[in-house]
Structure 1
Amino acid sequence: MQSTYNQLTELVEHHLAVIYNDVELPLSYQALAQDLLSTIGLSENQDIPPPLRHHNNWTQQDAVLITYGDSIEEAGVKPLKTLHKFLNERCIDNLNSVHILPFFPYSSDDGFSVIDYSSVNESLGDWVDIKRIATDFRLMSDVVINHCSARSAWFDNFIKGEGLGSDFFYTASPDEDLSNVVRPRTSPLLRETETATGMQHVWCTFSHDQVDFDFRNPKVLQTFVSIIRQYLDNGVRLFRLDAVAFLWKKIGTNCINLEQTHEVVRLLRTLIEHAQSDVIIITETNIPNRENLAYLGNANEAHAIYNFSLPPLLVNTLITGDCHYLKSWLMSMPPAQNGTTYFNFIASHDGIGLRPAEGLLADEELTVLVNTMQNFGGRVSWRASENGQQKAYEINIALYDALQGTTKGTDKWGFQRFICAHAIMLGLEGIPGIYIHSLLATGNDYERVKNTSHNRAINRHKWQYGELQEQLASPYSQHHRVLKAMGELLTIRRRQVAFHPNATQFTLQLGNHIFGFWRQSIDRRQSIFCLSNISDEPQEIHLSDINLVGTDQWLDLMTQQPIYASQSSIVLAPYQTMWISNLPKG
């Protein structure tokens, strides 16, 4: 009988054969497979239990805080220590996971231009601080896999033509037809770089400080497997594959979502889940919805994908008071099969991406959305479209300010609208991720935009720990009110089995002013009707439209008030959400 190790070797060889089908390698697939298995920490002499297929490494108790390592600063204290203190003081009861955005030495893009993948940025702390956080919280880390900093030792060696990294980077000729290449930026694709072997034109998907790797070289893959092993050893259990859609390049194609890219994700999953069975791989693919869904594969690629269409659709819903587009999208979303799920979020360190709304929001709706966000102090980042014109790529704005009003202007409902947005997200199928500046109701930081000249800095405020504590202690501050309300929502959510990320979800048809969906637990014992008034006027719901089972007792989990099936209707105040759950019998 063939050993598990031999079976695993054959599986890895298969992945490699797909990836390198038209690449001449300096070693055999078998030799490369055995090297990768050894690097990830697997050997022929150990017991390697196969991972459980279609197994969910998550429950309704999982929720992730997204933060930079230095989002909260304290004089004389390394930021990772301050972050750990904040997490234990304010988050440990409601958020069991934390995504610390790139905490490595970097040269630009607030961490996403990595100089050294193996070190913690000493201005933040060290690996001991990272491991301590990972002891108390499930830790998520970025693997910035598409590119690194032009100031890295690897790129220095590329310029010198010797040493590790000298052959790590993708180059192309400016004479080649690159017109089909999909870009998220307007900067030139190729960077002229004088090297020991002459002028080279280095591929830069994002910026000229972010130079793209050439995964046709297996040494690049081997290096990243080694990096992943180091992160596992330091407590990382969720891996965010940053900008992975652009990983494989092939002249004459659009260089995005190529089959080799998907196969690299499959390979990494095979290696990681055999080495550490409880790991979750999340792909960060800020692309149109249909393409994004493809990264779940057949439960053999990413465990989870970012639900990138949710932020623009949900913000659009709440500023227009019309949930038509949000409902249409939700009805089109396939249920995630066991072993996969969605990673839901509304705000992030970047902004509200608009590409994932393409084909979901009409052009007129997108224009209104962009204009409204600009009226609320937001900025817009642009990209070059297929016909060479500039097109809005991303809205940069703090979510609390984004929801301060509607298309009619600012109003008195900003707090309620903001909490409504999160109540909707927390009820949806998937694992929720909450950006720290949403949890703290941080507003637009115009000073950081001015100081950095980067639009994304508007939502990357750095709190002083003492000032934050004062604000959170004041019952009248928006920061206190939001943190308290968010904590209450998360506490309720984590107790409901019907909010398991893979529990059944069904979209309700309640008109355009009420956004509603139904969740049912995997064991079918609990049902929750999630009903939100997404308008600035009271809305009546006829209970016959949601069909409460008369033999069950029902309760609004938000207010703890009973809801009787015999009632003819209920009224929701502007931006009120009800989670109406049946009560267990006996």
Structure 2
Amino acid sequence: MTQPLTSRLEGMLQAVYPTLDCAALAKDLLGAMVLAPDAPSPPAHQNQWDERDILLITYADTVQRDGEKPLVTLKHFLDDCLRDSINAVHILPFFPYSSDDGFAVMDYLVVNEAHGSWRDVEAIADDYRLMADLVINHMSARSRWFENFRKRVDPGRDYFFEGRPGDDLSQVVRPRTSPLLNAVQTEDGERHVWCTFSEDQVDLNFANPQVLMEFVAIIRQYLEHGVRIFRLDAVAFLWKEPGTPCIHLQQTHELIKILRLLIEHHTPDAVVITETNVPNRENLTYFGNANEAHAIYNFSLPPLLINTLIIGNCRHLKTWLMSMPPAQMGTTYLNFIASHDGIGLRPTDGLLDDEERQRLVNTMESFGGKVSYRRTPDGRDQPYEMNIALWNALSGTAEGGADHWQLQRYLCAHTIMLALEGIPAFYIHSLLATENDHSRVEHTGRFRSINRSQCQLDELEQALSDEHNHHGQVFHELKRLIAIRRKQPAFHPNATQFTLHLGLQLFGFWRQSMRRDQSLFCIHNISSETQTVALGDINLIGTDEWVDLLSGQAITDLTATLTLKPYQRLWLSNRA
């Protein structure tokens, strides 16, 4: 018999707040979500996805048109250029903010007036599954809550996490080199607030259950406006205890379980995704026992795939892929190569050694990229993130520099991403093959701006319609690849996947559909040299008819040896 919702919630809360009246807190949280205490559990695996799911990541104002709110312009771009290619869109924080391009939120319940309105957001949600950020770890130092913290009044007086200069902070894991504690003047005198990311992004205090209550009310509002996918931003840092690393603490995992429980009872088809830019083994823990994140970002994929293509050797990528556990039903991976942030290096811990990581950093810098650093517990600065447009990141090799294989190398990277277990996500500037924006970096003073260009819709559409420039070439070929992928049941996010062993210059894996009615052998030449593959080595079933879905070429001789040009790809299927 299923345990009543109230009892389940109370038990989870007890693990976070052992000294509080968790029965009363559970009642209040259910009230905030407008849920009955005996609300039935949603059907198992209600949050399913399939091979047709493709996500676009974009800022609300990336695409603009004079005289029109950017959210309206974005809807035009989605409808006119991508309706047949994507079915979900992640609009990065579209709220009033004070810094970090939206991630220092001033008001969670208001759409940034410069972007548009909730009605514009809802118009997008009507036609696409809408993903929004729950910027849950921190809030702007210019927000009303923080002003109330300074004034020592509610709401906000106890909403932010405080530390003391004498606290043991030696183990704290930091993603930045800025000071962790920031002194601020309040009506009660000087206090030191915890700032994991910047002094304008002050960490919230979830030890105060009222903060949890506030976010549950925020979540309900988002659901009512059409949000169906929640990205829990920087959630790994949520719970702090001096004397510990202050990352991945058990209370953080329990809070994710609580939020998921409430979300899926309110809206059974809603999805929770955790954004945890950390080493792979730590990232995997956010699946829990299929009771935390529905999906996790595959953060190791971008640096490993880029490294593979610039050195022409897939050893580390193949080793990583073999170590990845199949996601349980009801969970999956979110695959991406680039995002609004840079290419994280912490996810390469245990996968690349220091020399290999430094070679990757040096190569990205030679291609015009920038590098940011983090402060380790022992006080050292280590490379944390590479900031570079993906088009430039794949412009050449580590040994030879830029070359004429850039386009094919770029398409090879995306062909691999599209075929891997999980849901593919395209950052808009990768879909458009945008170059490094050095002028924007100079204007903002922030390295991440290199990959956050803005464009006029009319100019963009003209560029994409021109088959003679790389923007149009990339855009139309990626749309073709997406169209092929969306018809293959073997590319279901939870379809079986096995790694193939074809040497170090051919990266391959096998996918099989859930009903076992399609096999797909995905083989990619990740080098700038011609390679060969003997079909006999991959055991194609002789009684089936095989075709390369990418070229349309039928495979009639299963003992033949195929020649792959530099960065050529094959999707060999027994189902055309």
TM-score range, shorter chain: over 0.9
SS for the counterpart of 2:498 is strand
- Report the equivalent of 1:475: 467
> Which residue identity lines up with residue 10 of structure 2 in the other structure?
E
Measured in 1, the distance between the counterparts of 2:147 and 2:436 equals 38
Measured in 2, the distance between the counterparts of 1:345 and 1:508 equals 21
User: Greater shift after overlay, 466-475 or 423-432?
Assistant: 466-475
1:234 Cα offset (Å): 0.4
Q: Is the 8 A contact 1:55 1:338 kept in 2?
A: no
- 2:40 maps to 1:43: no
- 2:267 maps to 1:276: yes
Measured in 2, the distance between the counterparts of 1:129 and 1:431 equals 26
| Aligned ranges 1:295-444 → 2 under 5 Å | 295-407=286-398, 408-444=400-436
- 2:554 maps to 1:557: no
Q: Number of aligned residue pairs: give it.
A: 575
Cα shift readout 1:501-531 (whole Å, capped 9, x = no counterpart): 0000000000000000000001111000000
1:560 Cα offset (Å): 1.0
- 2:447 maps to 1:455: yes
| Aligned ranges 1:564-579 → 2 under 5 Å | 564-579=556-571
Question: Residues 136 and 54 from structure 1, CA distance in 2 versus in 1: closer, same or farther, beyond 3 angstroms?
Answer: closer
Q: Is the 8 A contact 1:289 1:309 kept in 2?
A: yes
Give the alignment's TM-score, normalised by structure 1.
0.97
Measured in 2, the distance between the counterparts of 1:348 and 1:202 equals 29
- 2:22 maps to 1:29: yes
Cα shift readout 1:57-115 (whole Å, capped 9, x = no counterpart): 21110010000000011111000000000000111101000000000000000000000
Measured in 2, the distance between the counterparts of 1:294 and 1:506 equals 22
1:56 Cα offset (Å): 4.7
Q: Is the 8 A contact 1:72 1:464 kept in 2?
A: yes
> Which residue identity lines up with residue 12 of structure 2 in the other structure?
H
- Report the equivalent of 1:485: 477
Measured in 1, the distance between the counterparts of 2:499 and 2:558 equals 23
Measured in 2, the distance between the counterparts of 1:52 and 1:260 equals 27
2:107 aligns with one of 87, 99, 116: 116
- Report the equivalent of 1:535: 527
- 2:6 maps to 1:13: no
Measured in 2, the distance between the counterparts of 1:461 and 1:306 equals 23
1:117 Cα offset (Å): 0.1
- Report the equivalent of 1:232: 223
- Report the equivalent of 2:539: 547
Residue identity over aligned pairs, in percent, reads: 59
Measured in 1, the distance between the counterparts of 2:352 and 2:539 equals 30
Q: Is the 8 A contact 2:371 2:447 kept in 1?
A: yes
Measured in 1, the distance between the counterparts of 2:99 and 2:377 equals 27
Q: Is the 8 A contact 2:47 2:268 kept in 1?
A: no
Gaps of 5+ in 1: none
- Report the equivalent of 2:130: 139
Measured in 1, the distance between the counterparts of 2:41 and 2:169 equals 43
- Report the equivalent of 2:246: 255
Measured in 2, the distance between the counterparts of 1:87 and 1:397 equals 25
- Report the equivalent of 2:65: 74
SS for the counterpart of 1:9 is helix
| Aligned ranges 1:508-523 → 2 under 5 Å | 508-523=500-515
Q: Is the 8 A contact 1:550 1:565 kept in 2?
A: no
> Which residue identity lines up with residue 456 of structure 1 in the other structure?
R
Cα shift readout 1:365-392 (whole Å, capped 9, x = no counterpart): 1011000000000000101123211100
- Report the equivalent of 2:144: 153
1:467 Cα offset (Å): 1.4
SS for the counterpart of 1:142 is strand
1:163 aligns with one of 132, 154, 162: 154
Q: Is the 8 A contact 1:556 1:563 kept in 2?
A: yes
> Which residue identity lines up with residue 570 of structure 1 in the other structure?
L
Q: Is the 8 A contact 2:47 2:271 kept in 1?
A: no
1:99 aligns with one of 72, 90, 115: 90
| Aligned ranges 1:183-198 → 2 under 5 Å | 183-198=174-189
Measured in 2, the distance between the counterparts of 1:125 and 1:76 equals 12
Gaps of 5+ in 2: none
1:564 Cα offset (Å): 2.5
Cα shift readout 1:5-44 (whole Å, capped 9, x = no counterpart): x7100000011001113xx43xx21111011111112125
1:583 Cα offset (Å): 2.2
SS for the counterpart of 1:529 is strand
Measured in 1, the distance between the counterparts of 2:46 and 2:318 equals 29
SS for the counterpart of 1:238 is strand
SS for the counterpart of 2:547 is strand
Q: Is the 8 A contact 1:540 1:572 kept in 2?
A: yes
> Which residue identity lines up with residue 506 of structure 1 in the other structure?
F
Q: Is the 8 A contact 1:548 1:565 kept in 2?
A: no
SS for the counterpart of 1:139 is strand
1:470 Cα offset (Å): 1.7
- 2:517 maps to 1:525: yes
2:488 aligns with one of 496, 500, 509: 496
Measured in 1, the distance between the counterparts of 2:17 and 2:325 equals 32
> Which residue identity lines up with residue 4 of structure 2 in the other structure?
Q
Measured in 1, the distance between the counterparts of 2:242 and 2:229 equals 33
- Report the equivalent of 1:222: 213
User: Greater shift after overlay, 154-163 or 562-571?
Assistant: 562-571
Measured in 2, the distance between the counterparts of 1:387 and 1:194 equals 29
1:272 Cα offset (Å): 0.5
Measured in 2, the distance between the counterparts of 1:124 and 1:284 equals 24
Measured in 1, the distance between the counterparts of 2:421 and 2:148 equals 46
Cα shift readout 1:407-453 (whole Å, capped 9, x = no counterpart): 12000010100010000000000011100000101000001000000
1:565 Cα offset (Å): 4.6
> Which residue identity lines up with residue 490 of structure 2 in the other structure?
A
> Which residue identity lines up with residue 566 of structure 2 in the other structure?
P
Measured in 1, the distance between the counterparts of 2:423 and 2:461 equals 28
Measured in 2, the distance between the counterparts of 1:434 and 1:566 equals 35
Q: Is the 8 A contact 2:431 2:474 kept in 1?
A: yes
1:478 Cα offset (Å): 1.0
> Which residue identity lines up with residue 39 of structure 1 in the other structure?
A
Give the alignment's TM-score, normalised by structure 2.
0.99
Q: Is the 8 A contact 1:287 1:356 kept in 2?
A: yes
Question: Residues 549 and 208 from structure 1, CA distance in 2 versus in 1: closer, same or farther, beyond 3 angstroms?
Answer: same
Measured in 2, the distance between the counterparts of 1:548 and 1:473 equals 39
1:548 Cα offset (Å): 0.3
